[in-house]
């Protein structure tokens, strides 16, 4: 995760950020956009978010392992 301490929240001005997973029991995943992923090995990676600890504003989303989508 990039250094969030030097960034300010656009909504409240806080510098307190945290990174977490999207989802609880089942994670949110990013999957390759293909007509059928059945025969392609099911490439997927967890979706992570960075958010403000004070107001909850979401700063960013990122894919945990983007290299699995490189061909």
**Structure confidence by residue, pLDDT tens digits, 27-37:** 788 887 766 55
Total number of domains constituting the chain: 1
Burial class (CB in 10 A: 0-12, 13-18, 19+), 22: middle
| pLDDT at residue 55 in the model | 97
Cα–Cα dist 67/64, whole Å: 9
Stretch 50-61: mean pLDDT = 96
pLDDT above 70 as % of the chain: 76
Angle in degrees, CA 25, 40, 66, rounded to 5: 60
Domain that includes residue 61, residue range: 4-69
Cα–Cα dist 4/14, whole Å: 10
Res 5 pLDDT > 50: no
């Amino acid at each position: 995760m990039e250094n969030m301490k030097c960034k300010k929240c656009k909504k409240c001005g806080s510098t307190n950020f945290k990174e977490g997973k999207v989802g609880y029991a089942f994670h949110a995943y990013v999957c390759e956009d293909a007509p059928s992923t059945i025969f392609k090995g099911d490439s997927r990676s967890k979706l992570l978010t960075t958010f403000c600890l004070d107001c909850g504003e979401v700063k960013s989303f990122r894919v945990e392992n983007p290299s699995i989508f490189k061909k």
